[in-house]
Chain A
């Protein structure tokens, strides 16, 4: 039954790809991008990507890219103060004390696109390898426009399987993790300058879902994080995009998320874009995120060694975040047909004060800077 469901997920896989009005989806282009993340708890990520989009025939196209994440993180001290410095290799949430990069993630992706009038079909695969975690996945999407593409329905999904290999040779009872995701979206034009898109995702995860490095030290015991081995999630979002004043657009997005760990979250995001010139668009955004903690996450200090589940990772507790950023998109006029496109963005991200963050990182909250730069050339 599980195998049938697995393949059903793959076959039905739908991907809510960016809305492109079903026109000229496949272009010959090459992209170089560089993304940077740095926060106050010592995590730094440099992430260059090279991508190629090539039309293979009238209706077929190829997308290929390779991304590298060079991750470094500083030593971290347990907030409880009753243990010595602990060096742990967890580039995502923790740190190692070595200089240079602690982890290098390499992630190639290949996908094919079939385009025929208002019909779009994409399928592909990606692979990701880092020192302690390996992933392979397949994904598909099917998109169809109706009524002169005034309505576009997209269905898609993915199947991802991963394997943990903790660097400190911790033996896991189950070192695998799988994720199946179904997506659906409906885009509806409201008029010639506004549309709305409703999106939904259903996600099933199972296997080892905690970080193998997170652990809790309390009076009389030290235990690694223990979570349930399955998690079913649902996310629904609605996005409005409209141009109400000349040369401007407003993007309003709301997402509601819930899962069977009893995590509930609300995400509100607003983006404003302004065409300063024909070839220069400036943008500003604000994002607010709030979530409730998992039902098994207790106030830190109330855990006992016999608890079924133990949490030290703040991600599964109650907290809020705020993101504010600026962006610009520029197409230099001295390139024929504006073939070169540049994108640049900066965002500031912060969480509110959280006792779990304090306990793990020694800081009350996480504050991060995020920068992206991209250069695309159409040939």
Chain B
């Protein structure tokens, strides 16, 4: 697992090109956000930890929901 993650990281980093601020128009669109559906993402972080036995490393984090 660790080796696979390192390989993926190296592969990604070796293929990176510098993106200037004026080239980020596409990256700034709604569909390119890490969580384009913000309300659903928030609800996911509410429902999934209640229905499943694991949580963490979500794409959005605001401290938790405080639910039991």
Q: State whether these chains interact.
A: yes
Chain A positions within 8 Å of B, measured between CB atoms, are: 15-21, 23, 33, 35, 37, 47, 69, 92-93, 105, 107, 109, 111, 124-128, 130, 132-133, 135-139, 141, 147-150, 156, 158, 160, 162, 164, 179, 181, 183, 187-193, 195-201, 203, 211, 233-239, 241, 243, 248-249, 251, 253, 255-257, 259, 263, 265, 267, 271, 273-275, 281, 283, 289, 291, 293-294, 315-316, 321, 325, 327, 329, 343, 345, 347, 349, 351, 366, 368, 370, 372-374
**Given contacts A181-B56, A235-B57, A372-B43, are A198 and B19 in contact (CB under 8 A)?**
no
Q: Using Cβ atoms and an 8 Å threshold, which residues of chain B touch A201? A: 56-57
Chain B contact residues: helix, strand, loop or mixed: loop
Question: In the complex the two chains form, is B40's CB within 8 Å of A16's CB?
Answer: no
B21 to chain A, nearest CB (A): 6
Closest 10 CB pairs of A and B: A128-B66, A139-B63, A235-B56, A201-B56, A135-B66, A273-B31, A235-B57, A374-B39, A237-B57, A257-B54
Question: In the complex the two chains form, is A150's CB within 8 Å of B62's CB?
Answer: no
Question: In the complex the two chains form, is A329's CB within 8 Å of B36's CB?
Answer: yes
Interface residues of B in 43-68 (CB under 8 A from A): 43, 46-48, 50-68
Q: Choose from A15, A20, A256, A293 the contact partner of B62 (Cβ within 8 Å).
A: A15
Question: In the complex the two chains form, is B27's CB within 8 Å of A192's CB?
Answer: yes
Q: Using Cβ atoms and an 8 Å threshold, which residues of chain A touch B16? A: 150, 188-191
Question: In the complex the two chains form, is A21's CB within 8 Å of B28's CB?
Answer: yes
Expressed in whole angstroms, the Cα–Cα distance for A316 and B49 within the complex equals 12
6 A-B pairs (CB sep. < 8 Å): A21-B28, A158-B63, A255-B56, A321-B51, A327-B37, A351-B51
Q: Does residue B3 face the partner (Cβ distance < 8 Å to A)?
A: no
A376 to chain B, nearest CB (A): 9
**Given contacts A92-B67, A148-B21, A190-B16, are A349 and B33 in contact (CB under 8 A)?**
no
Q: Choose from A196, A349, A373 the contact partner of B39 (Cβ within 8 Å).
A: A373
Q: Choose from A147, A253, A275, A343 the contact partner of B18 (Cβ within 8 Å).
A: A147
Q: Using Cβ atoms and an 8 Å threshold, which residues of chain A touch B13? A: 188
A20 to chain B, nearest CB (A): 7
Question: In the complex the two chains form, is B64's CB within 8 Å of A181's CB?
Answer: yes
Q: Choose from B12, B42, B61 the contact partner of A190 (Cβ within 8 Å).
A: B12
Q: Using Cβ atoms and an 8 Å threshold, which residues of chain A touch B31? A: 243, 248-249, 273-275, 281, 283
Q: Using Cβ atoms and an 8 Å threshold, which residues of chain A touch B62? A: 15, 17, 109, 111, 124, 126, 139
B30 to chain A, nearest CB (A): 5
Q: Using CB atoms, name the residue of chain A closest to B39.
A: A374
**Given contacts A263-B54, A291-B53, are A160 and B66 in contact (CB under 8 A)?**
yes
Question: In the complex the two chains form, is B66's CB within 8 Å of A343's CB?
Answer: no
Q: Choose from A21, A37, A137, A162 the contact partner of B27 (Cβ within 8 Å).
A: A21
A172 to chain B, nearest CB (A): 13
Expressed in whole angstroms, the Cα–Cα distance for A133 and B40 within the complex equals 24
Question: In the complex the two chains form, is B65's CB within 8 Å of A107's CB?
Answer: yes
Expressed in whole angstroms, the Cα–Cα distance for A130 and B60 within the complex equals 24
**Given contacts A15-B62, A17-B60, A281-B31, are A294 and B53 in contact (CB under 8 A)?**
yes
Q: Using Cβ atoms and an 8 Å threshold, which residues of chain A touch B51? A: 315, 321, 349, 351, 366, 368
Task: Kindly list 11 other residue pairs between chains A and B, CB separation below 8 angstroms, not including A249-B32, A329-B30.
Answer: A17-B61, A23-B24, A139-B63, A233-B56, A249-B29, A251-B34, A273-B31, A289-B48, A315-B51, A372-B40, A372-B43
Q: Using Cβ atoms and an 8 Å threshold, which residues of chain B touch A135? A: 66-67
Question: In the complex the two chains form, is A162's CB within 8 Å of B66's CB?
Answer: yes
Question: In the complex the two chains form, is B64's CB within 8 Å of A19's CB?
Answer: no
Q: Using Cβ atoms and an 8 Å threshold, which residues of chain A touch B32? A: 193, 241, 243, 249
Interface residues of B in 5-29 (CB under 8 A from A): 5, 8-9, 12-13, 15-21, 23-24, 26-29
